[in-house]
Amino acid sequence: MKHVFIKTISLVALGSGLSLGAATALAQQVQSPQASVQPVRLPAFTHPSSVPTDLARIDAAMNSTASFSGRFAQYGSDGSVSQGKIYLKRPGKIRFEYDAPAPLLLVSDGVTLTQIDRQLDTKDRVPLKATPLAFFLGENIKLEDDVEVVSLQKTPSSINMTAKDGSGDMDGAITLVFDPQTLALREWIVHDGFGQQTRVVLSDLEYNRRLDPRLFVLRDDNRRDRRR
């Protein structure tokens, strides 16, 4: 199971089973903008002495976020782009509703992450704890204990923290990108074990508002589909 989520995130965009060609055909085909200049390469830890303090600040910011909702844009290594709505409720719950033409829905109920493809009529599941999403959906995040932090880069425009599973049970890594002033989560990048990356950029977020619990219960989606 350890490869399933990382592979799917690269394929459709965030868990399992579609071929890259099929996923790309279903997603909105928009070429990602390319940077005109090479990025400046920073050391893995730009301020090594402050890493524990920085991680504690990130912990506090994420632990203070009980929920959010807004939009996401997902950029694949193949140049494809897909967009949709995102809903997050800690601990453990998240929902990605992909805009047409992608017939995809990705939902975690706190235990299991499920990907539904309505066009292919498939439903694929993976334990949430086996995915990179698990560590920032936890009830009480403590990065120094929960993951192996392999990079923490601080610039005037962002704080980038890259982590991987310290147990070695899960391949790949995830980079979280925060606003340097507010420490709000702005995006994340999943790096799979095959050199591919999937970037998810967040926008129009509303924080700590009540979310309908049914957003994270898939049987309601099935009933709604049957009524259509």
Tokens of 125: 């599941």
* CATH superfamily, region 4-30+44-221: Lipoprotein localisation LolA/LolB/LppX (2.50.20.10)
Entry pTM: 0.77
Name the one residue in this structure whose structure tokens are 């932090």. 149
Helix (H) or strand (E) holding 204: strand 197-207
Give the distance from CA 168 to its chain's centroid: 20
pLDDT tens-place string over residues 1-13: 333 333 333 333 3
Convert the pLDDT of each residue in 80-130 to its tens digit. Answer: 899 999 999 999 999 999 999 989 999 999 999 999 998 898 999 999 988
pLDDT tens-digit readout, 31-74: 344 444 455 577 888 889 999 999 999 999 999 999 999 999 99
Provide the percentage of residues in the chain whose pLDDT is more than 90. 55
**Rounded to an integer, what distance in angstroms lies between the CA atom of residue 87 and that of residue 94?**
6
- C-alpha angle with apex 153: 51 to 155, nearest 5 degrees? 115
Mean pLDDT for 177-192 is 94
Q: What's the pLDDT score for residue 168? A: 63
| Residues 143/163, Cβ–Cβ less than 8 Å | yes
pLDDT, the chain, mean: 80
